[in-house]
Chain A
Amino acid sequence: MRRPSTLAFVLLALLGLIFVLIFAHSWRLTATEQSRLQANRALVTQLGLTDLALFSESRYTRHPSQADLHSALQDHPGAFDHFPTGSLLSPPAHLTATHERLAGKTTSSD
């Protein structure tokens, strides 16, 4: 009679093999993928694109890198974020980064 452990080993070995193959597959780009990536980069250069067209519901989610800090609050200052994507996508780090503390470093008086 076949032992249950044999079956478990075969199953785990099969899953493990697929797992290893996934890693191998992701490390080697196919020619189609490579040409698609190159063509997309060429399109970005040609059209001067700056963002992915993932969220087209509002201007600050369509072009997050081009949006200003106030665009999410377009109705009035402190307005609630209108679009659901605002909960997925935060403002770019360079917009919300704190400024360097200059106290005591400036030559002119504060």
Chain B
Amino acid sequence: MNVWLEKQRHLIDFTLASLARRKTKNIGLLLAYTVLVFVLASLALFTQALRSEASFVLAGSPEVILQRMVAGRHDLIPPGYIEKIGRIRGVQKQEGRLWGYYYDPVVNANYTFMARPADEVATGSIMVGATLARARGLAAGNVISFRSYSGKLFAFKVAAVLSPDSELLSADLVLLSEADFRAFFEYPAGHYTDIALSVANPQEVRKVAEKLSASLPDSRPILREEVLRTYQSVFDWREGIMLTVLAGAILAFAILSWEKASGLSAEEKREIGILKAIGWETSDVIRMKMWEGLLISLTAFLLGFIAAYVHVFYFGAAVFEPVLKGWAVLYPRFALVPTVDGLQIATLFFFTVFPYTAAVLVPIWRAAITDPDSVMRA
């Protein structure tokens, strides 16, 4: 056993010395490989962490949201609608919600305005999300005015800025009293944006939704499980930019492996010829090259993965920020809770380390079984 181990160590020594002779090329290769793993691992870690965070926090969202649809579009809930729901068995509580969007031309950002009961936000005051507060330079006690869609100017006192820890949920939120909300948007009295329902028995949610659809045919119930499913499939690898990034990375990796597999440099061939001429076995040459592939790919995988972990969980996935931001002005600063899916990382390992190690072996095997003299002369 010791003899075998010592032999492998000598092979590794030789491999490293051989790699050091082509330092620039191999460092470049290692860097390209590491960046590839870094991008793929960052994507995997970010989406996984976002999914698990969303499914944890959104588990507290309303069991059923009831919207009214007119000509395929979301419309206001008219008076009397809520009373009709009250008669459906299983519905424990129903609450008309008031919320909407406001475009702020000062910073070109969209805000979400949401009405809250008077005991939470006093009339004339607002509570704002931390991202919005940063964009407008607001702090508790400041006064800010918004021009409503009807052209009137409304001044509000900032009662509080919501916790920066909740930016992922409340980045663009403006909470105001119901009276202020109705006055600002000139909402007709008795109308609501949608209705939040709570159902006592979780087993009955689907049945309640069916009853709602039957008794209010113009309504559209959205269940909590659908909200959660929306975020379970967010950033699915089969969609949009994920597929583009993955396809690009896989292509780059295929070119890298192909370059390795399609042939050896004249210098590498001569080296193999000399080794064979001085008595190395074909198996020794193959073993040496296997170590080379394994050392490079394993180092690149570990370096890329560690860098991706630091990037996603300590630098807020800054590389992805410009892409995720799109045309939005407000982008929350958030730290995701570290989550690593073992299977996902094992898949990444399998698809990056193994193909490269295997690709290295093919041309070496071809060169190693030919006559040393012809290899050296080629």
Given the interface pairs A15-B299, A54-B332, the reply to whether A41 lies near B57 with Cβ below 8 Å is yes
Considering only residues 320-363 of chain B, those with a C-beta below 8 Å from chain A are: 323-324, 326-332, 337-340, 342
Residue of A nearest to B226 (CB): A94
Considering only residues 34-60 of chain B, those with a C-beta below 8 Å from chain A are: 50, 53-54, 56-60
Considering only residues 34-54 of chain A, those with a C-beta below 8 Å from chain B are: 36-37, 39-45, 47-54
Q: Is A87 among interface residues, defined by CB-CB distance under 8 A? A: yes
Q: Which residues of B contact A61 (CB under 8 A)?
A: 326
Given the interface pairs A29-B337, A85-B326, the reply to whether A3 lies near B229 with Cβ below 8 Å is no
Residue of B nearest to A86 (CB): B240
Q: Which residues of A contact B330 (CB under 8 A)?
A: 53, 56
The size bracket of the interface on B is 35 or more
Residue of A nearest to B308 (CB): A22
Q: Is B89 among interface residues, defined by CB-CB distance under 8 A? A: no
Residue of B nearest to A33 (CB): B337
Q: Which residues of B contact A3 (CB under 8 A)?
A: 9, 13
Contact between chains at B240 and A90 (CB < 8 Å): yes
Contact between chains at B326 and A83 (CB < 8 Å): yes
Contact between chains at B324 and A88 (CB < 8 Å): yes
Given the interface pairs A53-B171, A65-B226, the reply to whether A22 lies near B340 with Cβ below 8 Å is yes
Q: Is B235 among interface residues, defined by CB-CB distance under 8 A? A: yes
Q: Which residues of B contact A69 (CB under 8 A)?
A: 72
Contact between chains at B230 and A92 (CB < 8 Å): yes
Contact between chains at A56 and B233 (CB < 8 Å): no
Contact between chains at B57 and A37 (CB < 8 Å): yes
Q: Which residues of A contact B155 (CB under 8 A)?
A: none
Name A54's contact: one of B162, B229, B240, B324 (CB within 8 Å). Answer: B324
Given the interface pairs A47-B114, A52-B169, the reply to whether A57 lies near B327 with Cβ below 8 Å is yes
Contact between chains at B222 and A65 (CB < 8 Å): yes
Name B169's contact: one of A18, A44, A59, A90 (CB within 8 Å). Answer: A44
Contact between chains at B67 and A84 (CB < 8 Å): no
Q: Which residues of B contact A87 (CB under 8 A)?
A: 240-241
- How far is it, in angstroms, between the C-alpha of A65 and the C-alpha of B232 when the chains are bound? 11
A36-B165, A49-B169, A93-B233 provided; 11 other pairs, C-beta below 8 A? A22-B305, A27-B340, A42-B60, A43-B169, A43-B170, A53-B167, A53-B169, A54-B50, A56-B172, A64-B234, A66-B194
6 contacts between A and B (CB under 8 A): A40-B166, A43-B166, A50-B58, A53-B330, A58-B110, A88-B324
